[in-house]
Amino acid sequence: MSRTQLLKRVLLGRTMASGELEHTLLPKVLALPVFSSDPLSSNAYATQEIMLVLGLVGTAALSYVIPIALAVALLLAIVVVSYRQTVRAYPSGGGAYIVAHENLGANSGLLAAAALLIDYVLTVSVSITAGVDAIVSAAPTLAAVKVPIAIGFVAFVTLMNLRGTKESGTLFAIPTYGFVLSIYALLATGLVKCVGGCPLAESAGAHLEPEQGITLFLILKAFSAGTTALTGVEAISNGVPAFRYPQSKNAATTLSMMGAMSISMFLGISWLANHTEVVYTEESARTVVAQIAQTVFGGGFMFYVLQTMTAGILILAANTAYQDFPRLISILAQDRFMPRQFMNRGDRLVFSNGVVILALLASLLIVVFDANLNSLIQLYLVGVFISFTLSQSGMVVHWRRAPEPGSGRRMFINGFGAAVTGIVFFVVVTTKFLSGAWIVVAAIPLLIQLMWSIHHHYDKVAKQLAHPDHKPPDRRAGDHSMVILVQEADAAAARAVGYVRAVRPRQASIVTFDNDSAAAMRRMAPEMSLTVLEEDGQRAAGIKAYLAERGKSLPPEHFLSLVIPETLEGRGLWEIVRRPGIHRLKASFLRERGVQIMDLPISRHDVDPGRYETEEPARNYVVVLVSGVHNATLQALEYAETLTPTDLRAVSFGLDPAATEKLGDDWLRSSIPVPLELHESPYRDMGRSLVTYVEQFRADGRNRVVTIVIPEFVVGRLRHQFLHGQTALLVKRHLLFESGVVVASVPYHLGTQPPD
Amino acid sequence: MGMHLPAFTKFSRTNPLVPGADLELPARQLWAISAGASLWLVDLEPYEECRVVGVVKRLRVDPHHGHIEVTIDDGTGQVAARWTIRRNAPQLALAPGTAVLLEGLAVAGDDGRLTLSEPGFETITYLSSE
């Protein structure tokens, strides 16, 4: 195990096989903290947000807190009842994106997705900043390092999530249940103490100067501030596949449990705040919950327990976003609205790329907003209510399209929910627009535009790959010219000569920059033509010009391969980092039209330094890596056929059952005569699977070689590079150190491939 | 469609074939027997009618020779099963990682390995040890 692998293992745990996915499913008792820490934790500040707005009208207006809290609680109940139906109707995970996409169309789906993605990023930034604020209130000297502390917590939560769902569930259960139990203890003690008259808070009796009169707008603003209690309710509906079986039933039960807890805590805190006559302003040293706790517990042990649990749940509330953001972005990637790399599960079966990108975006927001909670919170909630409204509207259409007993009642519940959340959305946007919500309102269409442009790119690529005009011409054995790029006349160059002789191309030649090497190569391969290029500092340009010249003299159906022999000093990542020049050179040739690159590495330890072996290997096993039947695959197969193989086969690793069946079916339909092998890749690491696979050929480089042919997409624009997996690169890195393995990259130029 | 299997785990159980014998058996072997296998692959003999259970390790489609072949593993050994390609090729559902029950005659293949020729097959569910 290398040092990097060891570090990864210590931080993340052992790599898990794909088959272990079922064992990461969550029982209800763990699913509740994983998916509900966000809505439950907002009780720590929801009442306070309402009071902050009402305080503008003076102390007397604080009596409105109970009716407003009742309205928010009612809204929460409506949304919970409505989402229970979604969870049951969409057992495979019915996030707002899926429900809106299926029932209202692609644009509505993307609107919901964009709103949710932005909100998940905000959930992380807001909850972690709120948690850090709680810590800074206790230790004011830390105020100067708020941003680094917040980034540190983001890193911690990220790491926990990269370890996997179940592990993080166990960890997050403690502060979540701790918080809920402490709040219930607070409410119970408070109610007992209120028999015969509530004790008064330390701030009771403080006078707030009215800054304005009570208006409907202000009441609505206070209401929209209180709706922060609803954030994260949709998390359970997105996360149904993470629940244990029966998934829908368990998810619906968990949703109800969360709703009941949230409503009772929120109403209880609001009632106690009102009856202990708490007064809260931005200058208040203690939060509303802390003031109530001080009054009820008298500042004893339970006060500190509650404060600790509150800080804990606030920081871990970010976890809800960590569950849903990666899942949503992977669904978008499946639908080709996001780069396909987001579909991959990492070592611990988590959608790691999504987790990492969420952490980066949330950290960026924290830095840009200087970890200021008041600024960040203004951006919040817009996305939540867009997704609520679209999801429930989608459900109305769902029930209308597929009527079943009781669907009329269900349609009414979802329709009512949609109408209510729709109204609340306008209230939120109107009351928060100028204070920051405009940023989200502007960002959502930009994100939708980005998703469509990604989708169009993938569509265009798929069309080109399947289009008969772009199909490569038929080749026969021998339709191949090979050029060996010799940097030094060494054992690797000698092996390359032997390999090229075994392939028997139509033309074989050698190109070098060094006169001494040229003389040695002439003796080694007298039958090959040899060219010494001028060394003017621009080696790559010189070789490209030479290849272009060679290409012109060849018939269009001919392949032209540049064979690059190299001698490796050691193994591992260091060997790759040590020589960046050669990798840049190979990458730049890949972009040259009509040129295939063959990498022929040997290890210095495997060769006799005094003896250059130029004999032909007796066996050349050629393996073509395939992921689908399309023009790039066909071109790679034809290339492989010109390599005079002893045995030629196509292989694929780690496809899911549906993709396996499709590939097999397409293979038979296309009448490709080459055998296709499909193998497991239990750890989703194609490089490692391929290295194990190659071992069966017992290649030594002298008598037996294995040539791995990799079809590679070359995109016209650099930014499109991010939309295509870097599988080829990873595979090449693994195979570089395998003795007797030659790697051939067959580029397929996307976007501008001229019809042959 | 059969479910994918968890990792190859070992635990100590009494050997169901040898009453009283306490052996450390891989979970997959126990599962093979509980899922209806008449024997473990390591005990398979040529020209023997058998019912075996395992996980598909490899699916090979060979249009040139006109056959589809899968290799299964039950924790004790491996065996290949071969079918002539017919319309719709239902064997393509046997993706690597799928659990399958095969029933047929074992014969020695061209390369000396035992192969089940045209066996009946059925995808099955893994019975988790938990």
According to the per-residue pLDDT averaged within each range, which of A311-320, A424-433, A652-661 is highest? A424-433
| CATH fold of B10-123 | OB fold (Dihydrolipoamide Acetyltransferase, E2P) (2.40.50)
pLDDT band at residue A262 under the 50/70/90 scheme:
very high
In a domain, A56, yes or no: yes
**Number of separate domains in chain A:** 2
pLDDT digits (tens, 9 = 90+) for A180-202: 999 999 999 999 998 888 888 88
Judge: B6–A665 Cβ closer than 8 Å, yes or no.
no
Residue B85: CA count within 13 A, CB half-sphere:
18
Judge: B93–A665 Cβ closer than 8 Å, yes or no.
no
Structure tokens at A254: 């968990």
Q: Which of A654, A715, A732, A641 is nearest to A686 (CA)?
A: A654
- Rounded Cα gap, residues A150 and A365, in angstroms: 11
CATH number of the domain where residue A508 is located: 3.40.50
Structure tokens at B37: 């296998």
- Rounded Cα gap, residues A623 and A440, in angstroms: 50
Contact A123, A321 (CB under 8 A): yes
- What Rg do the C-alpha atoms of chain A give, in angstroms? 32
Q: What share of chain B is helix, strand, coil (3-state, %, to 5)?
A: 10, 45, 45
What is the per-residue pLDDT for B2? 37
Structure tokens at A357: 């990108």
Q: Which of A688, A653, A680 is nearest to B73 (CA)?
A: A680
Residue A13 has pLDDT above 50, yes or no: yes
Judge: B60–A676 Cβ closer than 8 Å, yes or no.
yes
Asked if omega into A246 is within 30° of 0 (cis), the reply is yes
In terms of domains, do A359 and A332 share one? yes
Residue A37 has pLDDT above 60, yes or no: yes
Per DSSP (E only), the strands in A496-625 are: 507-512, 529-532, 559-568, 595-603, 619-625
In a domain, A1, yes or no: no
What is the per-residue pLDDT for A619? 92
Judge: B7–A682 Cβ closer than 8 Å, yes or no.
yes
What is the per-residue pLDDT for A744? 92
Could you give the 3-state DSSP secondary structure of residue A506?
A: coil
In terms of domains, do A73 and A29 share one? yes
pLDDT digits (tens, 9 = 90+) for A114-153: 998 998 999 899 888 888 877 776 677 887 888 999 999 9
> What residue type is B50 in one-letter code?
C
Judge: A680–B97 Cβ closer than 8 Å, yes or no.
yes
In a domain, A581, yes or no: yes
In terms of domains, do A382 and A495 share one? no
Residue A169 has pLDDT above 70, yes or no: no
Tell whether A210 lies on the interface with B, counting CB pairs under 8 A.
no
- Rounded Cα gap, residues A592 and A623, in angstroms: 23
**Which residue is closest to A680 within chain B, CA to CA?**
B96
Q: Which DSSP state fits A436?
A: I
pLDDT band at residue A562 under the 50/70/90 scheme:
very high
- Rounded Cα gap, residues A750 and A728, in angstroms: 16
pLDDT digits (tens, 9 = 90+) for A388-438: 999 999 999 999 888 778 888 888 889 988 998 998 899 888 888 887 889
Judge: B96–A18 Cβ closer than 8 Å, yes or no.
no
A176 alpha-carbon distance from chain centroid: 26
In terms of domains, do A371 and A519 share one? no
Domain ranges of chain B: 10-123
In terms of domains, do A506 and A560 share one? yes
User: Among A444, A460, A476, where does a domain finish?
Assistant: A460
Pick among B8, B61, B83 to test the A interface (most A CBs inside 10 A): B61
In a domain, A252, yes or no: yes
pLDDT band at residue B3 under the 50/70/90 scheme:
very low
Percent of chain A with pLDDT over 90: 25
Judge: B61–A675 Cβ closer than 8 Å, yes or no.
yes
Of A23, A661, A672, which has the smallest distance from its Cβ to B93's Cβ? A661
Judge: B97–A664 Cβ closer than 8 Å, yes or no.
no
CATH number of the domain where residue A430 is located: 1.20.1740.10
Judge: B60–A677 Cβ closer than 8 Å, yes or no.
yes
What is the per-residue pLDDT for A168? 58
What is the per-residue pLDDT for A8? 61
What is the per-residue pLDDT for A753? 46
Pairing of the two strands A529-532 and A676-679: unpaired
**Chain B residues with beta carbon closer than 8 angstroms to that of A656:** 95
Residue A6 has pLDDT above 70, yes or no: no
* Domain extent at residue A709: 468-749
**Chain B residues with beta carbon closer than 8 angstroms to that of A21:** 4
- Rounded Cα gap, residues A563 and A596, in angstroms: 9
Q: Which DSSP state fits A750?
A: -
In terms of domains, do A395 and A542 share one? no
Q: What average pLDDT does this structure show over A23-35?
A: 75
| A560 vs A349, more confident | A560
Residue A708 has pLDDT above 50, yes or no: yes
What is the per-residue pLDDT for B9? 39
pLDDT digits (tens, 9 = 90+) for A457-493: 888 888 888 877 777 777 766 688 999 999 888 888 9
In terms of domains, do A416 and A532 share one? no
Residue A733 has pLDDT above 70, yes or no: yes
CA A24 to chain B, closest CA, distance in angstroms equals 11
Contact A391, A112 (CB under 8 A): yes
In a domain, A8, yes or no: no
Tell whether A516 lies on the interface with B, counting CB pairs under 8 A.
no
In terms of domains, do A432 and A517 share one? no
In a domain, A720, yes or no: yes
User: Among A411, A433, A460, where does a domain finish?
Assistant: A460
CA B6 to chain A, closest CA, distance in angstroms equals 4
**Chain B residues with beta carbon closer than 8 angstroms to that of A655:** 95-96
In terms of domains, do A284 and A155 share one? yes
Residue B12 has pLDDT above 70, yes or no: no
Pairing of the two strands A741-749 and B67-73: unpaired
In a domain, A3, yes or no: no
From residue B4, alpha-carbon distances to B1, B72, B118, B128 in Å are 9, 13, 24, 11
**Cα angle: A37, vertex A40, A41; to 5 degrees:** 75
**Which residue is closest to B94 within chain A, CA to CA?**
A657
pLDDT digits (tens, 9 = 90+) for A238-256: 778 778 878 888 888 999 9
Q: What average pLDDT does this structure show over B124-129?
A: 55
Residue B26 has pLDDT above 80, yes or no: no
Structure ipTM: 0.79
Q: Which of A24, A94, A75, A42 is nearest to A318 (CA)?
A: A42
What is the per-residue pLDDT for A725? 63
Of A17, A19, A661, which has the smallest distance from its Cβ to B95's Cβ? A661
Judge: B61–A667 Cβ closer than 8 Å, yes or no.
yes
- Rounded Cα gap, residues A455 and A434, in angstroms: 33
pLDDT digits (tens, 9 = 90+) for A92-116: 776 788 889 999 999 999 999 999 8
Pairing of the two strands A741-749 and B49-62: unpaired
In terms of domains, do A376 and A248 share one? yes
Model's pTM, two decimal places? Answer: 0.74
What is the per-residue pLDDT for A396? 93
pLDDT band at residue A33 under the 50/70/90 scheme:
confident
What is the per-residue pLDDT for B22? 43
What is the per-residue pLDDT for B69? 93
Contact A188, A322 (CB under 8 A): no
What is the per-residue pLDDT for B14? 44
pLDDT digits (tens, 9 = 90+) for B50-66: 898 888 999 999 998 89
User: Among A395, A428, A460, where does a domain finish?
Assistant: A460
In terms of domains, do A448 and A516 share one? no
Contact A213, A365 (CB under 8 A): no
Judge: A660–B58 Cβ closer than 8 Å, yes or no.
no
User: Positive or negative, the Cα torsion across A548, A549, A554, A555?
Assistant: positive
* Average pLDDT value over all residues in chain A: 84
In terms of domains, do A451 and A497 share one? no
CA B19 to chain A, closest CA, distance in angstroms equals 31
